[in-house]
Amino acid sequence: MESIKDIQTRLQGMEDIKHLLRSIRAMSAIRWRRAKKHLEIAQSYTRNIDAQLGTVFAKTGATLPEKIAHERFENKGKKIVGLITLTSDRGLCGNFNTGLIGKAIQVTEILDRKNKSVKIISLGGYGERLFENAGYEIFFSERIPTAQVVSFVNIRKAIAHIRAFYETGTIDELNILFNRFNYFGSYTPKSVQILPPKLSEIKPSSITVPEDLTVYSNAEELKTFLLWEHLAARLYLAFIESTISEHSARLQTMDSAISNLDQRMSDLEIKYHTIRQEKITQDVLEVQSNLRDRKKTPKRY
């Protein structure tokens, strides 16, 4: 049986762990609120870019620039698909990462049956380790810090690498796989194709262009710039949703861990008081027994 001192030591250790879990939960709550605010900004910026693209398409014709058009890959054999996976850099967020990796493996198998080869582009250190443990080769990886909030500057750097891969023909298509935010505590792994872009998803269905609108820039260059800006905005939006989902998952995980720890501490405290009461009872019985023995012992004068 454990001694009272051992139980006190265990209770103190659990209290320290509980303090750590509460600190992690508090930081995740702050980061969740910050990311939630940036989600509205990212959505607004994406809508503005789409509106600009819609205007340019309506004025110059809804055709993709040659460097981005899908037709340049028609004569190739097996297409190479770049799959961007957005995972976290840290754990302690339930099945946030494992669920996404499972979805990535499923998507890889589906594309393989369609005669498409997949190159994994891992953005997030935790996912990179999971892929390597599963035996998958990482084509390109980059860690984008998300301690405070995802920076659009870092997204631009990632897009610059991806653009080089696409324009040189290293990859023919590009998909983003991320945890789409539904509501607090709920997210869904989602795979979205962003290259070649689908005009039906970019061009607004109803847009009015002034007749006297003049486009002074080169139409192809302007389309190319806006399309890559659109893709950067899409990736940024996906990263924001992934960050919100990550921190909401971590909040739930911390809540469950704290609740479980409270239950274990409660059980241990009951055990502590039981042992303590048994020891007190034993001490009282020993004192009473000694008194009886003294009464039975004859007095000597």
Domain ranges, ordered by start, for the chain: 4-21+259-293, 31-254
Secondary structure (DSSP) of 144-163:
---SS---HHHHHHHHHHHH
CATH topology of domain 31-254: Pyruvate Kinase; Chain: A, domain 1 (3.40.1380)
Structure tokens belonging to residue 180: 């789409």
- The pLDDT, as a whole number, for residue 17 is 93
Sign of the CA dihedral running 31, 34, 36, 38: negative
CB atoms within 10 A of CB 134: 11
Dihedral Cα 182, 187, 189, 190, nearest 10 deg: 10
- The pLDDT, as a whole number, for residue 212 is 61
Q: Which parts of the chain register pLDDT below 50?
A: 75, 205
pTM: 0.80
DSSP letter at 70 equals: G
d(CA 239, CA 244): 9
d(CA 28, CA 35): 10
pLDDT tens digits, 89-146: 888 888 888 889 889 988 888 888 888 889 998 888 888 888 888 888 888 888 776 5
Residue 281's SS3 state is helix
